[in-house]
Amino acid sequence: MLDIKFVRENKEKVKENIKKKFQDEKLPLVDEVIELDKKIRELKLTGDDLRKERNNISGEIGLLMRDKKVDEANNKKQQVVMINQKLTDIEQQENQLNEKLKAKMMIIPQMIDDSVPLGKDDSENVEIERFGEPVVPNYEVKYHADICEMLDGLDKDSAGRTSGNGFYYLMGDIARLHSAMISYARDFMIDKGFTYCVPPFMIRSDVVTGVMSFKEMENMMYKIEGEDLYLIGTSEHSMIGRFKGQIVKEEELPITLTSYSPCFRKEVGSHGLEERGLYRVHQFEKQEMVVLCKMEEAMDWYNKMWQFTVEFFRSLDVPVRTLECCSGDLADLKVKSCDVEAWSPRQKKYFEVGSCSTLGDAQARRLGIRAKGKNGNYLVATLNNTVVASPRGLIAVIENNYQEDGSIKIPKVLRPYMGGKEKIEKK
């Protein structure tokens, strides 16, 4: 959410930013919030004048009572009663207008970074760099679900009976490989100096609206019926929510955290072949990284964070590339974002396995997260990035380590988490 003062002083810039995101239907909001802000400030001035008048009259009442001019004092008291009623009415109007202002401000997108390429949707994202040589072996790489089933590692039929489409059972060594990746990701980030955390897996609505846009919320979140609780779609939600309404000490910045959680997402719609596999599912597990820092340090941390994900996947023998998200593909709270995509030797193309974002002060403003500095309190910057989300990351490891005999070579860094096992093969 933008600062209303910024909108007031930079109306055309805010409108231009909306156009860059191809959300022209939101352009009227800018004039509407400026008009609401004007009315609120006028009410504040009127209220201030009335309070000043009330204070003066109260002083006069004291003098009149001292001089035993009771009737005149009572008349003045009646004026105070009328002023108090006017102040009550003004405060009610002010509260109503503030609610309208907040609701509209929550819809206006964050200002994107100047370096973000212009584009309408993810089809116009821009490749930045490739890491590792994409390899297509001279033998067929089977569909990941078929590989897992062949190795007795996947049961979607039973999950369909217990839970429906989009759910799965991972079994045996495939389940163990999945857990090994998550455990390795945890230790990988701890070695980078991040503090490990396991957060709540449910959060309240005021945290949800603090960390994401309404559109994302509707498309992603599962609500707990009869309670003000939502299942998290990523641990970023509860990790940022942890600091809601808090003032952190400046010397504690940057705060660098890595969190494990299951994640739950609606993933509305049908997705063809991927529907029967593990690519697009309603629940998965993820190791995340979250950073709170000074605004001027945000871009440095952004570049460090996506590089950590690249390094992680390269250590698993998975070629990856980075894509710069274009303006139309950025969620409303994001300043800048890039995706990390893994190579699929079966599809002969890359697919998304992680996303890194800097959100400026958008989440901090919504949730009231500040740092206490020498010159007063200020909003912090928040960033998040995927270390690994499995089973999507699992697919990348399986395909890039699939052998001609149907076995899966286990990357060296994961072997200590699997009892030294070097490959997964059919029993």
Asked whether the domain spanning 122-424 has the same topology as the one spanning 4-105, the reply is no
* CATH number, span 122-424: 3.30.930.10
3-state secondary structure of 351: strand
The whole-number pLDDT of residue 74 equals: 83
**pLDDT tens column, 138-152:** 999 999 999 999 999
The pLDDT of residue 58: 85
pLDDT in tens, 238-269: 999 999 999 999 999 999 999 999 999 987 55
What is the phi-psi region of residue 406: left when phi exceeds 0, alpha when psi lies from -120 to 50, beta otherwise? left
What would the CATH number be for the domain defined by 4-105? Answer: 1.10.287.40
- What Å distances lie between residue 147 and 58, 175, 340, 398, CA to CA? 84, 13, 24, 8
Peptide bond into 254 cis (omega under 30): yes
Whether residue 403 contacts residue 423, with contact meaning beta carbons closer than 8 Å, is answered with yes
Buried b (16+ CB within 10 A) or exposed e, 67-103: eeeeeebeebeeeeeebeeeeeebeeebeebeeebee
Per-residue DSSP letter, 295:
G
Helix (H) or strand (E) holding 209: helix 205-211
Which residues of the chain fall below pLDDT 50?
270
Sign of CA dihedral 116, 121, 122, 127: negative
The pTM score is 0.90
The amino acid sitting at 365 is R
Q: Tell me, what's the pLDDT at 268?
A: 59
Per-domain boundaries in the chain: 4-105, 122-424
Res 26: pLDDT: 97
**One-letter amino acid identity for 374?**
K
Interior angle at CA 98, CA 92 and CA 103, nearest 5: 135
Query: Any idea what the Cα angle at residue 215 is, between residues 246 and 156, rounded to 5°?
Result: 100
